[in-house]
Chains A and B, each alone.
Chain A
């Protein structure tokens, strides 16, 4: 039950922060971090795949509604939700009967960073490619992806260190 409430609070806070603050960051016109995917990243490991996919679809659609992007966030969010369990298995073996939410503590520094980086990269690549829908400005696209992913990564790491204190 506590886990349930914790996730709802995290969801509300992240979506509000994303919509009201981060979507207004327009540094150099290139950086637009999407921190709200931390919600998807931190869903409990043993949550059935179909639940996390549906949740991500809803969340992505909500962010879409706020930023007029029509399904682009939903697409990217569903993609990372689908790949999530595979990526987790890639870096860490969770013992039977355990159901941790991915954090520094539960995953360990090394595995957690690998997992987060991969999720962020897949998300930003999917989203920005879909947004541009062409490779004509490939350099701008790549710079956008790299800078936004980097800022998202720094924000997530910052949040994790604050929480662990």
Chain B
């Protein structure tokens, strides 16, 4: 007994070291329980407050680019308004039966504007923190887009902040399709360059061209169809492969990302519940 005690005392530092290393490692590998560990991530309110404060300074230097972006979007929207107005003017008002009038379910989206207060692009697993949270109606699994295209999916939400997994993280795959041919595949980041990602699951027989535009497929409840994802930068296929190896230039520049919109799909619960039934 005494020997055992002596042994323990003699090597107490080694034990402490081992225990702490095991705790760290278990944290690294258990972060699937991400919801529980909000405390240790940047949606923790103290951490987020510090980042928000820091961001208010950094934001000032990005105003110019943000302005350019906004005015560009503005003109595009104005053009669209004029186009739609013309179209409306040419159509005679038909008698719509107001009782049977419904917004089609795939159109029932609302956007929640939010600001990026922390983000990384150089890690293997990148995360983005937003300054809006549960109190603004954000829930896990909502899609996040910017004016340029798809950003990512909300992962954790605290009362005032939300952590987003961007497409620059191999943990998520975004289902997308070609604008001109409707073939769909999933987008998976390889962890090397924040400007590029890879498209998988495109079979050999599909005809591709450099510069083809990719949009979201709308096959998941997270993103509506038609949001730009990127365009083909490069592709190749080996003699023995069934699927293309496609390099995609992402539409969003994650380095300058500042203003994003969170997509609130209003029929999310209904669709999820309905889809759950056949599985049982």
Residues of A whose CB lies within 8 Å of any CB of B are: 19-20, 23, 26, 29-30, 32, 49-50, 53-54, 57, 60-61, 64-72, 74-75, 78-79, 82, 130-132, 137, 140
Contacts and interface: CB of A to CB of B under 8 A. Distances in A.
B41 A68 contact: yes
A53 B163 CA distance: 30
Contact of B28 (A29, A32, A71, A137): A71
A137 B192 contact: yes
A75 B28 contact: yes
B163 A78 contact: no
Given A26-B122, A53-B17, A54-B16, 12 more contacts: A29-B121, A49-B13, A57-B20, A57-B23, A57-B24, A65-B47, A66-B47, A70-B27, A74-B24, A74-B27, A78-B20, A79-B21
Interface centre among B13, B193, B255 (most CB of A within 10 A): B13
A79 B25 CA distance: 12
Given A49-B13, A137-B192, A71 B127 contact: no
B21 A75 contact: yes
A83 to B, nearest CB: 9
A17 B142 CA distance: 33
Contacts of A131: 123-125
B122 A70 contact: no
A66 B20 contact: no
Contacts of A130: 28
B227 to A, nearest CB: 25
Given A19-B50, A53-B13, A68 B23 contact: no
Nearest to B22: A75
Interface string B121-134: 11111010000000
A54 B42 CA distance: 22
10 nearest CB pairs, A to B: A71-B27, A75-B24, A71-B24, A74-B24, A26-B122, A82-B17, A70-B31, A71-B28, A68-B127, A49-B13
Nearest to A21: B54
B69 interface: no
A155 to B, nearest CB: 17
B25 A50 contact: no
B194 A71 contact: no
A32 B44 CA distance: 23
B12 interface: yes
A67 B13 CA distance: 28
A60 B21 CA distance: 11
Interface of B: 12-13, 16-17, 20-21, 23-28, 31, 37, 40-42, 44, 47, 50-51, 54, 120-125, 127, 163, 191-194, 255
A43 B112 CA distance: 47
Contact of A72 (B13, B28, B47): B28
11 contacts: A29-B192, A32-B122, A50-B12, A53-B20, A54-B20, A64-B27, A66-B50, A66-B51, A131-B125, A137-B192, A140-B192
A24 to B, nearest CB: 8
Contact of B17 (A20, A60, A61, A78): A78
A137 B191 CA distance: 10
A101 B44 CA distance: 34
B172 to A, nearest CB: 15
Contacts of B37: 70
A64 B16 contact: no
A71 to B, nearest CB: 3
A41 to B, nearest CB: 17
B17 A68 contact: no
B24 A60 contact: yes
Nearest to B43: A68
Contact of B42 (A30, A53, A66, A74): A66
Contacts of B124: 131-132
Contacts of B44: 65
Contacts of B24: 57, 60, 71-72, 74-75, 78
